[in-house]
Amino acid sequence: MSLSTMLTAVDRIEITVLVDNELDPISPSQSDHVHYAGQMRGIKLKPIDKSDGDAGRGDAGLELRMDAICCAAHGLSLMITAYSGDTSHTILFDTGPEEDVWERNVKRLGADIAKIERILLSHWHRDHSGGMLRAVQMINDAKLARPGNEEKVVVDVHPDRPDYRGFVIPGMAPVSFEADPSFSEIEAAGGLVEKNTEGHAVSDDFFYVSGEIPRDTAYELGIRGAARYVGAKKAWEPDTLIMEERLVACHLRGKGLVVFTGCSHAGVVNACRHAIRTHDERLHCVVGGFHLADNDPDKLAQTLRDLRELAPDVIVPGHCTGWRFKYSWEQAVPGSLVPCFVGTKYEMTAVE
């Protein structure tokens, strides 16, 4: 049975990139499907204080400061707002690799985080969960400062949280990542933890959060050498597939699905096909990490072929996608790629 009735067709989607690997506040969008300012116009300007006698700038009244520009980091965090008529809902998709970069970029952008209703975690990897505790605290503090908006932020996660994740290289001892925030740590920070294994719609059905993504393609095989530490066994075990990874999707009225992926360990083609099958809608756009930076030429070629067959109007690849795939896509489908830049607000609008 199609779940297409679960999603509200929205009029507009705004995506503010709070954390990503790449920074470019200058380049303008080349696509009619995704709009953003570019030309440094997204950076907050500060009035020049001339009371100290600094009159050496003529009639300039505003200053563009370098400490107002966001910082890139290895990870992903997207603040996504969807609009339908007079109603809007905002979610936070992932929280980046560490707390300081999330806080710094939120403050530099002046992002209205009080409107974030829930945090949706794509999967348990530190570059997506590392900013979680600070994000929960800051969002709740922002809500308390706004009368009538005191409800704590919901943190929607898959329950299969590993004790630790890392990787194993033959001939070497395992390398461990930092632990993801625990459920008790998230609750202590003020988050309302919701554990979900199945697909479900949230926020008046504006957003769909998948369950585990079916692995159908023969070439999207997860991460070579990935492992998890199982404390009960005191042992590292293979964890190549990252099975708990989830996608988020919206339905942009008249255009189709906008799919958000954290890392696409399940495969960006598998993720997009799953969203299309689930909602019986065409693919308009896919945003986020495609995990194609590992320079596997066969995987790159097959992903390019199969994603092209899904015919998205535009893609917004970021984080772990890698320059090789972005270059290949732009060569194959000129004008349909918009890079995912930290500190940038992207806007997509429905068919009038």
Assign 154 a pLDDT band (cuts: 50, 70, 90): very high
CA pair distance 294, 98, nearest whole angstrom: 23
Burial of 194: CB neighbours in 10 Å, binned 0-12, 13-18, 19+? middle
* Tens-place pLDDT, residues 303-333: 999 999 999 999 999 999 999 999 999 999 9
Contact 318, 22 (CB under 8 A): yes
For the stretch 301-340, what's the b/e string if a residue is b when 16 or more beta carbons lie within 10 angstroms of its beta carbon? ebbbebbeebebbbbbbbbbbbeebbebbeeebeebbbbb
Q: What is the mean pLDDT of residues 216-228?
A: 97
Q: In whole angstroms, give the CA distance from residue 261 to residue 125.
A: 13
Q: 93-97, 119-123, 146-150, 221-225: which range is least confident on average? A: 146-150
Amino acid at 197: T
Handedness of CA 106, 111, 115, 119 (dihedral sign): negative
- Residue carrying structure tokens 């990935």: 226
CB 102 within 8 A of CB 132: no
Per-residue pLDDT band for 54 (boundaries 50, 70, 90) equals low
Mean pLDDT, the chain, integer: 95
The average pLDDT across 294-311 equals 96
Which of 54-58, 116-120, 178-182, 325-329 has the least mean pLDDT? 54-58
* Backbone torsions φ then ψ of 278, nearest 5 degrees: -65, -40
Average of per-residue pLDDT across 321-349 = 97
Over the stretch 78-103, which tens digit does the pLDDT of each residue have?
999 999 999 999 999 999 999 999 99
130-141 confidence digits (pLDDT tens): 999 999 999 999
The CB density around residue 146, as the number of other CB atoms within 10 Å, is 11
The pLDDT of residue 5 is above 80: no
Positive or negative, the Cα torsion across 290, 294, 297, 298? Answer: negative
Q: What was the pLDDT predicted at 282?
A: 98
**How much is the pLDDT for 294?**
87
Average the pLDDT over 27-37 and give the result. Answer: 87
Give yes or no for residue 2 having a pLDDT over 60. no
Domains of the chain with CATH codes:
4-35+72-349 (3.60.15.10)
Exposure string for 48-76, b = 16+ CB within 10 A, e = fewer:
eeeeeeeeeeeeeeeeeeeebbbebbbbb
Write down the pLDDT at residue 111: 97
Question: What does the pLDDT read at residue 212?
Answer: 97
Residue 41 pLDDT: 82
- The encoded tokens of residue 325 equal 């795939």
Note the pTM of the prediction, 2 decimals.
0.96
